[in-house]
Every structure is written in structure tokens, then in C-alpha cells.
Amino acid sequence: MPADGPRVTHVGGPTALVEFDGLRVLTDPTFDAPGRRYAFGWGTGSRKTAGPAVAPADLPALDAVLLSHDHHADNLDDAGRALLPSAGVVLTTVPGARRLGGNAVGLAPGATAALPNGWEVTATPARHGPPLSRPVVGEVVGFALRRAGADRVALWISGDTVPHRALSRFAARARVDVALLHLGAVRFGLTGPVRYTMTGREAVELCGLLRPRVVVPVHHEGWSHFRERREAVERAFERAPAAVGSALRWLPPGRPVEL
């Protein structure tokens, strides 16, 4: 495996195992079996429709879990929560770390934490809904992973977010190699057309600022509240400028892919 590129295994939903030279991290752990319906608060909820492609018992020892937020089960379900104590550290939002306790550490956007073997992670801005929705949907962060002191971000994980000004500012100045984007165009009947994660079209616009070498969509399948699936994302990237459209990469569930 090249030292400058990650090996990524898409487990399902937002969950991915990311392995760099000397580092293993897991994103947003979701390992419950399909079939159950989960309440997200304020009358919203979703049913899990697909199980994980990798079992928790088959994971390697984890240096860190990068948890965009702890309060929605499509980003942290019961089985995912059970494995958190086995990780070296759980990096998440500041209120999320207070709720989780134990080995959880909260990062506000812009804050950086050291990881083993010369790596570091910086929290990046995310907003999980329209303006003024934060009191309802809660805090979310993304993560920029890089070698300590490096200018280029080796891997950026968007977290559950819609486009907003702080995210655009980050994208315009960041130098990102691989981007894991939480898509799905999440909507709920209760709140009508309001979206809580990016569409494929919005992802294309964001990548026009980011200019990543590789774009990996996650968080677009496996739950009933995801309203935009792979086909719609593909259409959006097919219409994109070549430099953006050619970066799209789909990962087969459960199989490690070097990027």
C-alpha cells in the first residue's frame, strides 16, 4: 500500500475503515442488523435497510474513531456504540464527547488532535440542515486527516452537512487528496423539502472548490431516509467538468480499495 494514499473499506452507510501507513481509523460506526426503525427526534426517524459488510469482530485494532455526531443512529447505532471503548480515542463534537464520556474527546471546528505515527486530525465545519437548524439537529463536525506539518489533507470526511458559508471557505482554501462525502439528500416527510445532507449536484459544486484527486460517496444507501441514491449522484458527476467528474470512485462494500 502506498504511504501517501489510504486503503478504504466501505462498511455501509457512513461507516468506513481507513488505513494509512501506520494508522487505522473508523468513521461513524454503524453495525446493527437491518430492519429496525430508529427515532431521530422531533417526530423524525428512519428504518435501516441494509446490514454492515464487515462485522465488528473482523476489524483491526483501531487508533481512532472519527465520529461526526453521536445523536443519530445512522451515524452511531447500538453495535457501533459498543465498540467505541476499544478504540484508542473517539474524536467527535464537544457536546458529543460530554455525552459519551470515556475515551471521547470533543473537537470544535478548527481544533486539531494528534494521532499515532505522526498523523493529526482537524475538525472541519459542518451544518446538518438549513440556517438556524442547529438547535434542532445538533452539532456535527467533519475531519481533515493529514501528516503532522503537511500542507495537503490526505483524507477529508465531510460529516453530515449541507452547503454553507463556512464549508465553502474551507473547501476554497483546503488542498484535499481524497474526499469522503456524506450524501443521500436526507429529507423527512414532517419537514417537507428541507434537506439535511448534500445532493449529488451540491457535491459537484463543492468538489469544484476542493479539487480532490478522488471523491468517494458514502452515506447514500442502507437507510430509508436517504432520498438520492447512486444513480442520481452518477448523473450529477457525469455533467460535471472533467476534472471533477473523473474523480468519482465507488467502493464495493466490504472490500478494501487502495486510493
Per residue in 219-228, pLDDT tens? 999 999 999 9
pLDDT value, residue 249: 98
Residue 96 has pLDDT above 70, yes or no: yes
Query: What cell does 90 get?
Result: 473517539
Residue corresponding to grid cell 483501531 = 62
pLDDT value, residue 1: 36
Torsion of CA 222, 91, 205, 2, to 10 degrees: -90
CA proximity to 127, closest of 136, 117, 116: 136
Residue 51 has pLDDT above 60, yes or no: yes
Amino acid at residue number 90: V
Residue corresponding to grid cell 493529526 = 120
Domains of the chain: 7-254 (3.60.15.10)
Residue 177 · residue 155 · CB < 8 Å: yes
CA separation for the pair 66, 140 (Å, rounded): 11
Amino acid at residue number 50: A
The whole-model pTM stands at 0.95
Q: Rounded to the nearest 5 degrees, what angle is found at the Cα of 104, between the Cα atoms of 103 and 107? A: 145
CA separation for the pair 173, 196 (Å, rounded): 24
Which residues, in sequence order, are bridge partners of residue 196? none
Q: Rounded to the nearest 5 degrees, what angle is found at the Cα of 126, between the Cα atoms of 148 and 3? A: 30
Residue 3 has pLDDT above 80, yes or no: no
Query: What cell does 157 get?
Result: 470526511
